[in-house]
Amino acid sequence: MNTLSQHGSRHAFDVLVIGSGIAGLSFCLELLQLRPKTRIALISKVQLSESNSYYAQGGIAAVSSPEDAIAAHEKDTLLSGDGLSNTKAVNTILTEAPGYVEKLSQYGVQFDQGLAQEGGHSHRRIFHSGDQTGRAVIDTLLARIREHTHIDIFESHMAVNLLVQHTPHQPGNHGEVVGAYILDTSTSLIDTFLAKVTVLATGGAGKIYRYTTNPDVATGDGLAMAYRAGVRVGNLEFYQFHPTLLYHPECRNFLISEAVRGEGAYLRLPKTDERFMQRYAPEQMELATRDVVAHAIFTEIERSDYNYVELDITHQPKAFLEKRFPNTYRTLLTLGIDMSTDKIPVVPAAHYQCGGILTDTCGHTDKQRLYAIGEVAFTGLHGANRLASNSLVEAGVMAVFAAKDCVKWLDEKQSAAFSNLTAKINDWDSKGVTDLRRASQINAHWRSLRGEMTSYAGIVRTEAGLKDLLRLILTRSQMIEEYYWKHLITRDLLELRNIILVAELIVRSALQRRESRGGHYREDYPDKVEQQLETILQLDSFREY
């Protein structure tokens, strides 16, 4: 058999940023304001703009009107978090939210006049740019990023594993991260990136489920790499499902924003037109928190002969809808749906990872020199269920804090020797070419996994189903690991390896939490328990990689 080395080149930077959503981009810009000559490597799995942030429709929650108050925003966030939010993180991040929105305005983001209303919020406090806020923010930040000559951009590059330097004979020192192995997907070579600071800004893992609002890049890469490096992760059972993904065979992953319900849309049953939310949240109705609305829709679909429910905003004027939701209106119209006259078919879909890598609000992880910011991080802001439009502001505020904090490492030398690096990876010099037939068979596991995660570890869960699923996952994981160690590394293989690990962590977390709370509903344990503990997992807790 032919052999093909995957060894690439070796790079050294001050900072390695993995991920190009709002967290990663904001971090770069903030750090360069503080230290203009910092050399930054910015890694993007595909093109730089492709991220969860880019597709965010709703907006950014921040208090700005005299009728509103930070305390009210905190109260709404804590209620949505269903008893598991970290009150210190909530206060810290939401207090800084208005300042971050002002920073975006200074960068050039054009927000619309008038604040939007979304589910779970007691006031209108959502800054938005039509129904494409994420795109407006990312496009603006990217324009500023490209002005800086000290940022080296690496598109079509995917992180493989973190490089960890262990420091012996230092009690309490869990080691430091000194960079990462990065696959250049255009050449299939794996480069070594060394850095004084490494930042994970890799987003979530929505592609683990059959229906998701996330783009194809959302495969849990940062979470999986951190876990393999021995970093603690927590509360992964709380995967938030957005209530209203468009249900249409010709358009997948298209979110119908929370703001549509914020502007008065009703949820109705097909054929009968009944507004069913009165059975689940008679006071808030369609503006209940996402966990409540998603569970209600899921329950109604299970009871009916339909695979969807309908979102009805036909009582609003056409001119208003065209102006307030221009992208949604145009997209639906191309599919034969006029939202001013037609009801919109919707289903719940995996949307946001409320748990993640354990951090504080500055993004500190268990490893020195390693930061995690944005959706990949678990600060405790979201608790058991994220409040609408709190995600972008958390990512931005964390990015600012992390940039200020990491300056302390930039004047220090890295560990002199790299002989202690521990990042298990293939023996590239002796690896054979990819077995295309076997690769296709291995990748078929992903399709099955997504269906099983949706059925067994989706909106409604049971112990029997989770245990069955865990057995299936462990069997598949063994096959994927065997293939990983024998064949050339590709993006598809890396994503599959990461997503199967994240699936395992979600299922193990869901088995541990024997209660129902927020985005985690156990049919066999429908009530909350008084003891509110985090679900923490670490590499040595059940097996090694």
Distance, in Å, from the CA atom of 27 to the CA atom of 37, rounded to the nearest integer, reads: 15
Average pLDDT over residues 26-43: 96
Reply yes or no on whether the pLDDT at 52 is more than 90: no
Q: Which of 217-231, 327-341, 419-433 has the lowest mean pLDDT?
A: 419-433
Q: What pLDDT shows up at residue 446? A: 84
Average pLDDT of the segment spanning 66-76? 95
| Distance from C-alpha of 176 to C-alpha of 230, rounded to nearest angstrom | 11
Distance CA 134, CA 52 (A): 8
One DSSP character per residue, 443-485 reads: HHHHHHHHHHHHHHBSSSB-HHHHHHHHHHHHHHHHHHHHHHH
At residue 543, does pLDDT exceed 90?
no
Residue 50 has pLDDT above 90, yes or no: no
Hey, is 183 helix, strand or coil? strand
Is 171's pLDDT higher than 90?
no
Please, are residues 509 and 541 in contact by the beta-carbon 8 Å criterion?
Answer: no
pLDDT, mean over the chain = 89
Q: Which residues are CB-contacts of 502 (< 8 A; sequence separation ≥ 6)?
A: 205, 208, 219, 220, 223, 224, 236
Beta strands in 224-361 (DSSP E): 233-234, 239-246, 266-268, 309-312, 344-353, 356-358
Return the pLDDT at 33. Answer: 95
- Amino acid 117: pLDDT: 81
Band (pLDDT 50/70/90 cuts) for residue 1 is very low
Assess if CATH 3.40.50.11540 describes domain 11-238+354-410: no
pLDDT of res. 377: 98
H/E stretch holding 299 reads: helix 290-303
Closest Cα partner for 23 from 185, 222, 180, 211? 222
pLDDT tens digits, 512-535:
999 999 889 999 999 999 877 889
Instruction: Write out the two tokens for 376.
Output: 């990949």
Is the per-residue pLDDT at 423 higher than 70?
no
- Domain chopping of the chain, boundaries: 11-238+354-410, 243-350, 434-537
What are the backbone angles phi and psi of residue 255, rounded to the nearest 5°?
-85, 135
Asked if the model's pLDDT at residue 119 lies above 80, the reply is no
- In tens, the pLDDT along 487-510 reads 888 899 999 999 999 999 999 999
* pLDDT exceeds 90 at position 321: yes
| Cα distances (Å, whole numbers) of residue 54 to 93, 201, 283, 438, 459 | 21, 14, 33, 34, 25
CATH 3.40.640.10 corresponds to the domain 434-537: no
How many residues does this entry show for the chain? 545
369 is catalytic: no
Under the banding of pLDDT at 50, 70 and 90, the label for residue 419 is very low
Catalytic residue among 228, 290, 369, 386: 290
Percentage of residues of the chain with pLDDT beyond 90:
68
| 11-238+354-410 against 434-537: fold identical | no
Cα(289)–Cα(328) distance, rounded to whole angstroms? 22
446-468 confidence digits (pLDDT tens): 888 999 999 999 999 999 999 99
- Has domain 243-350 been given CATH number 3.90.700.10? yes
208-243, pLDDT tens digit by residue? 998 898 988 999 999 999 999 999 999 999 999 988
- Residue 3's pLDDT is what? 38
pLDDT in tens, 72-109: 999 999 999 999 999 999 999 999 999 999 999 999 99
Q: Is the pLDDT of residue 486 over 90?
A: no
